[in-house]
Chains A and B, each alone.
Chain A
Amino acid sequence: MIRLENVSWSAGAFTLEGISLEIPDASYAILMGPTGCGKTTVLEIIAGLRQPIKGRVYIGERDVTRLPSGRRRLGYVPQDGALFPTMKVWEQLGFALRLRRIPSTEIAATVEILADSLEIRHLLGRSVNGLSGGERQRVALGRALAAKPDALILDEPLSALDEDTRGSMMALLKRMQREFAIPALHVTHSQTEALGIGDKIFRFSGGKIVEEPHTPRKP
């Protein structure tokens, strides 16, 4: 579960007031809204990259409001993937595991299993330069999932992809979220993405986040 309770945040003239949101376990939620309304800020608050001035943030039953970003056990996929420019694909996938000092044989095994699931085994030895948009997002997703996070947040992960790649990535996102059985919050402008993979759809309206009536597609 991801839960925001009455969260407020401000920087200069931009403010978010009393934001509340609840995404149940293993649910894939979509957050929509006009440009500049604060969707990315909400994700960054959940990720611990911005500190709310008021309110609480929960991941599962844990109150993570004051926890540093790295202790929230969260997978984060930003818009352009934000891959580490000097690392090869296998290093990106094993990054979080190396930080946790997991033995290298175990890291290698996890990376291979993940690479197979994401269909990027052939890319493991490649540097990130020259990867296509879809490949970059697969690597970013694998990097976010490698340490088995308690929740997944994605900031417009498909916006830079062409139509064909977007379709296959949507299916992959949904499949991986199901495999890991974690709640996901996916920010997008696209109605197609929202209707295609969302179990729940939230929308920014009048400075609040409201849930839209939505019947999820059958898998």
Chain B
Amino acid sequence: MSRILRPEPGETGFWIALGAITFSYVGFLVLLIWATTAFTDPGTLLRSLQAPEIRYAIGLTLITCTLTALLSVILAIPAGYLLARSDFPGRSFIESIIDIPIVLPPMVMGLCLLIFFQTEMGKWIEQFVTFTYTVAGVVVAQFSIAAAFAIRTMHATFQHISFRPEDVARTLGCSRLQALWLVTLPTARRGIFAAGSVAWARSLGEFGPVLVFAGATRMKTEVLPTTVWLELSVGNLDAAVAVSLFMIALAIVILVAMRSAGDLR
């Protein structure tokens, strides 16, 4: 746990140097946001955001990000628990596979998805649900990357929770599943919220795999990052800036919510 340091006499220069380095980066980010905000005015911003295409993209983004976050958490809880609590042959190989979406360029994930759904297995799956160039495809594209971040978060969460209370619960009559459900998951609630938030935030910014796998069809598979790209490509800077500012606001809200959850005692 970190502790609050009070500068001792003679240490002021040291702390000022650290502060200068940190605040130069913070200042850089604030400048970027300020410059983008100053580029537009409230009237243009509101007008741009009220365009039917952009309202559709906002709605689709909120729905797909939420769905992706929920699916990611549903996967991340058992996967994170398995990785944190058990040792099995090939564990580090499995962990490396799970981390692939974190290190791979997102566009490559989109290409892999597109190719997979051209295989026999992919075509068989699409007999039941069509993913390529559909809204379902947007969720799959976001999920393929966001889930890896959620699993990593849940893995770290379970690693930090002692297994002893679970053991005690088992001696008191719980099955493994009951011990997980009644004791460990309530303890992990902040981690679960963090995993969902990370997945949500990650999906919000996902562009490459959505573009490649689900396409950029207006009023169909267009999410906010796609909107920025489409508006820029036709030279509509006002709309691109409006959508960018809206995304910045969403990102700030989700980050503040994550920090608040982390600070809950």
Contacts and interface: CB of A to CB of B under 8 A. Distances in A.
B173 A100 contact: yes
B170 A69 contact: yes
A70 B164 contact: no
B167 A76 contact: yes
Nearest to A96: B172
Interface residues of B, number: 18
A86 B183 CA distance: 8
Contacts, number: 68
B171 A72 contact: yes
Contact of B171 (A69, A80, A85, A86): A69
A187 to B, nearest CB: 14
A86 B175 CA distance: 19
B170 A49 contact: yes
The binding surface of chain B is classed by DSSP as helix
Contacts of A52: none
Interface in A86-127: 86-87, 95-96, 99-100
Contacts of A147: 172-173
Interface of B: 162, 164-165, 167-175, 178, 183, 186-187, 189, 265
A76 B186 CA distance: 22
A82 B189 CA distance: 18
A78 B167 contact: yes
25 contacts: A47-B167, A47-B171, A49-B167, A68-B170, A70-B171, A70-B174, A71-B173, A74-B171, A75-B171, A76-B167, A76-B172, A78-B164, A82-B164, A84-B165, A84-B183, A84-B186, A85-B186, A85-B187, A87-B186, A95-B169, A99-B174, A143-B168, A143-B172, A144-B171, A147-B173
Nearest to A78: B164
Nearest to A95: B172
Contact of A83 (B165, B173, B175): B165
Interface in A160-174: none
A48 interface: yes
Nearest to B187: A85
B173 A96 contact: yes
Interface string A128-149: 0100000000001001100100
Contacts of A78: 164, 167-168
Contacts of A71: 173
Contacts of A69: 167, 170-171
A17 B172 CA distance: 28
